[in-house]
Amino acid sequence: MDTGLTLAREGNWLVIQGADLPGGELRVNYLEAYCRPDSTDADWVEHTLIGHETELASLSAGGRRMELQCTLADGVVVQHVITAGRDEVDFRVTAHNPADEPSEAHWAQPCVRVGPFTGYDDPGGPAPEDYLHKCFVFIDGRLERMPTEAWATEARYTPGQVWRPAHAPKTDVNPRPLNPVIPSHGLIGCFSADEAMVFATAWEPYQELFQGVARCLHADFRLGGLAPGETKRARGKIYIVPNDIPALLNRYTRDFPEHLVHGLEAEPPGEAG
């Protein structure tokens, strides 16, 4: 009997496995980075990155529940509780600053590698974009496949694409091309190679949506910095579901009512944008 998704840890990879998962598994660089503000036009290594180390605190015998602890270079401690379900993975994050100085940890990056899911297993070039037509965001309430009609090409680093929600400062996102359009909400995803399945992810609060340079997709979560003694929380989801966009959106709105999703339209299954 299929018991749903399970979790494993390999180095810095969160490995999501499931009998019906396209590509056999989904790998997440978790976490790829904790980031400072004023990042949009700054050196990624010298300015933006805050060094961190991640330890596996526990993993249940069945691989359904994992606890991680990240310790940032500025002393912030971030606890992650990750739970696998039948067709989703739930993330609960608690960040605490025990130091006497404020932390500049404003946002963080779970980097989901979707190449195998979308049918692109070969390494490809240094920044493959062959999977783009499988990926989507929501613009003006409607699912739009990438590259969207508005597509930025200039930034400190290229290629890639960033979508900034209205609440995130233009100065505080990934230094990749910044799309001029504000997304409808915080859900980003892609279709499997045969279009039968959908991967999607969202976080609350969220800092940006990002199509990256390693056949990856991001919904990066926001911390907004931490004062001395302050604790903040975030939560996220990964959905791996059949290609039924209205059902996915209904589920997303239940899980993230803060995103105020309304008037969303679904692209017919298999229709390339």
pLDDT beyond 60 at 248? yes
Q: pLDDT digit string (tens) for 74-107?
A: 999 999 999 999 999 999 999 999 999 999 999 9
In the chain, domain spans: 6-259
* Percent of the residues in the chain that have a pLDDT greater than 90, as a whole number: 89
pLDDT of residue 121: 78
- Average pLDDT of the residues of the chain: 93
Cβ contacts of 243-251, under 8 Å, gap ≥ 24: 243/191, 243/192, 243/195, 243/196, 243/197, 243/198, 243/269, 243/270, 244/198, 244/269, 245/143, 245/198, 245/269, 248/187, 248/189, 248/198, 248/200, 249/187
pLDDT of residue 3: 73
pLDDT beyond 60 at 265? no
Look up the pTM and report it. 0.94
pLDDT beyond 60 at 272? no
Among 99, 98, 69, smallest CA distance to 81 is for: 69
CATH 2.70.98 fits 6-259, yes or no: yes
- CA gap 189, 208 in Å, rounded: 13
